[in-house]
Amino acid sequence: MKRNISCATAAVALSFAVVLAGCTTDQGEGLDLQDPTATPSAADPGPSPSSAAPSASIAEVSADEQAVLDAYRAFWAALDQAQADPPRSQDYLAPVATGAQFEQANGAIKADFLAGEISEGSPVLRNPTVASIDGDTAVVHDCQDTRGAVRKDIETGEVLLIGMAEDSVEQTLQRVDGTWKVSGTTSPEPADVFC
């Protein structure tokens, strides 16, 4: 049974496994999940989190804001890599996530894989903006298009969850040893509040 989900809700409440790039294609091509050196299939036309245009030019945001936005985008790109290689997910997530966000994402990727489920596709990061920076804490608001992100049964290929056209995401980032890392994700209500 297909269900629409909020990407942030899936990320937090449903094991944070919404954005796996290129696991399989309709032609059966794709990633060999038993091979840790395998890479996602080039046949996957799904959007990449880094493919969305920045919300503002570098000249329009402060250096701190730009660093926060870069870290936000890096998190989503690393999450794709982590989900494509569940046994090594921590290696991809550690540079971009910290605290509860790291533990939740890493644990969920591994648990979902062991349960026979995997995510495919990436959200399109439409317009991430820095809502606030207070010392070593920042908050980013975004409206993501998560229609290209689905969760599938690995064995049958059955689609279990699908994304939505307008999904608001609020992520908190912490500056750790000079590097911004995602530390938490919330799913604001209504789901399109930032869209």
CB 149 within 8 A of CB 120: yes
* pLDDT tens, the chain, 195 aa long: 444 444 443 443 333 333 332 222 333 333 333 333 333 333 333 444 444 444 444 447 899 999 999 999 999 999 989 988 899 999 999 999 999 999 999 999 999 999 999 988 889 999 999 999 999 999 999 999 999 888 899 999 999 999 999 999 999 999 999 999 999 998 888 877 898
How many Cβ atoms are within 10 Å of 162's Cβ, its own excluded? 18
Classified as helix, coil or strand, 167 is: strand
Structure-block tokens of residue 149: 């992100």
Q: Which of 142, 192, 154, 155 is nearest to 4 (CA)?
A: 192
Q: Please give the domain boundaries of the chain with CATH numbers for all domains.
A: 7-186 (3.10.450)
User: CA-to-CA distance for 13 and 104, rounded, in angstroms?
Assistant: 10
- The whole-model pTM stands at 0.71
With residues binned 3-state (H G I as helix, E B as strand, rest as coil), the percentages for the chain, rounded to 5, are: 30, 25, 45
